Structure 1
Amino acid sequence: MKQKRHEKILTIIKEKPITTQEELVSELNKVGFKVTQATVSRDIKELKLVKVQSDSAYHYAASIPRAARGYIIPKYSAIIRETIVNMDNVNNLVVVHCHSGMANAAAEAIDVSEMPSVVGTIAGDNTFLVVLRTEEDSITFMEELRNIVNS
């Protein structure tokens, strides 16, 4: 039932601008889903819906799916570009050396990008470790970092 409701929510917000949770409750009730505002609130959180502006109003929209993002979020590229000194990989691990005190910021830039190939990061003062799913992922990841650093 929950999966079907989630699918319907995504369909509804794609078809018409929904500006409030109450509107979404009303639309769901019209199509046979008896829900409360609290249920819709949880659904919005689980679906990671965001409010976007169009014309003069904000409405709900689906965020970019995690699996669709395979890159560092552009606003964090400057952190990567300014902090990384060098890097190396071993199997599915990438060791990244940064200017002193900057490893946490650079690792956070990678973490918030939610790249599917990145399992996680561990940061010290001037070095951080990126754990990737495969060795191929580590090579691709390093290429992306190099492109950002050299841009």
Structure 2
Amino acid sequence: MKSRRHNKILEIISEKDIETQEELAEELKRAGYDVTQATVSRDIKILKLIKMQGASGNYKYAASSKESKDINDKLSSILANAAISVENVDNFVVVKTLTGSAMAVAEAIDNLFDTEVAGTIAGDNTIFILARSLDKAEELVDKVRRMIL
């Protein structure tokens, strides 16, 4: 849940000029996240958000592009190195991983492919993924297969 909230924060600050933690908390609440200002404060520290001057002259939160790129690079590396195979059966996608790696790979898939994925369930070496549609399942299989080959 935290990683989804972090992704939502990055999405919000990329789309809107958010000046305060309270504004960010309100935007998260509108998006369905039950957060406090203290939680938002911790998230800002974890994400290493910066304040920069916007076009209007007011200050706003922004992501350090290096931090976002580093996180995505790490998630891609986990997926590429720990996933062994991927296939789809209707809207379901099954990913086989190295033993003990399924949860980490599922976290990577949740974060990297959130538009295709409705949810994941990870065991020890197998992940079941519910894709949003058959087309999204096939698209996800293609993307994951390219990353693990």
**TM (normalized to structure 1)?**
0.58
Give the secondary structure class of the aligned counterpart of 1:73.
Answer: helix
Shift of 1:138: 0.5
2:52–2:62 CA contact under 8 A, matched in 1: no
Query: Aligned residue for 2:92?
Result: 93
Query: Aligned residue for 2:118?
Result: 119
Name the CA distance, whole Å, in 2 between partners of 1:113 and 1:47: 22
Q: Residues 114, 94 of structure 1: CA spacing in aligned structure 2 closer, same or farther, 3 A cutoff?
A: closer
- Unpaired runs of 5+ in structure 2? 1-11, 29-39, 54-58, 65-70
1:52 aligns with 2:32: no
Q: Residues 53, 121 of structure 1: CA spacing in aligned structure 2 closer, same or farther, 3 A cutoff?
A: same
Counting helix residues as a fraction of each chain, which structure ranks higher? Answer: 2
User: Number of residue pairs matched?
Assistant: 107
**TM (normalized to structure 2)?**
0.59
Q: Residues 82, 59 of structure 1: CA spacing in aligned structure 2 closer, same or farther, 3 A cutoff?
A: same
Q: Which protein has the larger Cα radius of gyration, Structure 1 or Structure 2?
A: 1
Shift of 1:117: 2.0
Query: Aligned residue for 1:33?
Result: none
The residue identity in structure 1 corresponding to 2:25 is K
Using the aligned pairs only, state the percent identity.
34
1:91–1:135 CA contact under 8 A, matched in 2: yes
**Which runs of at least 4 in structure 1 moved beyond 2 Å after TM superposition?**
40-43, 45-55, 72-75
Name the CA distance, whole Å, in 1 between partners of 2:112 and 2:26: 18
